[in-house]
Amino acid sequence: MAIKQISIFIENKEGRIKKAISILGEKDINIRALSIADTTKYGILRLIVSDNVKAMIALEEKGFVVRENDVVIVSVPDKPNGLNSVLEVLDEKDINLEYMYAFISNKTDEAIVVMRFENMEEAVELLKDSDVNILEKEDIEKL
């Protein structure tokens, strides 16, 4: 149930994010979701894209450091406190959520949340047992 996300390590310099995004566009790679976390010296651009392999090759050829890792993508009610329904399930079982980011689509009434857990297998099992709607890659491609 995990989906592969790519993480691009980027120097915190003017134009570096644009360069990475331009490389993906030139290769006709669609970005489905993104998040960036930064410090004074570097950032991590996290992306869900249409073709991880093609994206990683293109970015590495241009000197970017890229990693792929597993994330879980869930849909939650797009209303106040909708995310808390999932967070409460995780909190009750002391599941460590490393980070998350969200996006919305006009093709669904729900918010879409990308989550990375310390223990992915345990988190996925708990979410499934709690009837949380976990999305597959095919679901993301339709958004």
Looking up tokens 């967070």 gives 87
Q: pLDDT tens, position by position, for the chain (143 residues)?
A: 789 999 999 998 899 999 999 999 999 999 999 999 988 889 999 999 999 999 999 999 999 999 999 999 999 988 899 899 899 999 999 999 999 999 877 778 888 999 999 999 999 999 999 999 999 988 888 87
Looking up tokens 């915190």 gives 12
C-alpha distances (whole Å) from 86 to each of 76, 79, 90, 125 are 8, 13, 7, 13
69-78 tens-digit pLDDT: 999 999 998 8
Residues 6 or more apart in contact with residue 25 via CB below 8 angstroms = none
Q: What is the pLDDT of residue 23?
A: 98
Q: How many CA atoms lie within 13 A of 72 on its CB side?
A: 26
Q: If you ran DSSP here, which 8-state letter would residue 62 be given?
A: T
What's at 78, amino acid-wise? D
Model confidence, pTM: 0.89
Angle between helices 84-92 and 120-129 (to 10 degrees): 120
Q: What is the pLDDT of residue 58?
A: 98
To which H or E segment does residue 90 belong?
helix 84-92
Domains of the chain plus CATH, in order, are: 3-69 (3.30.2130.10), 70-142 (3.30.2130.10)
Q: What is the pLDDT of residue 99?
A: 95
Q: 142: helix, coil or strand?
A: helix
C-alpha 7, offset from chain centre: 9
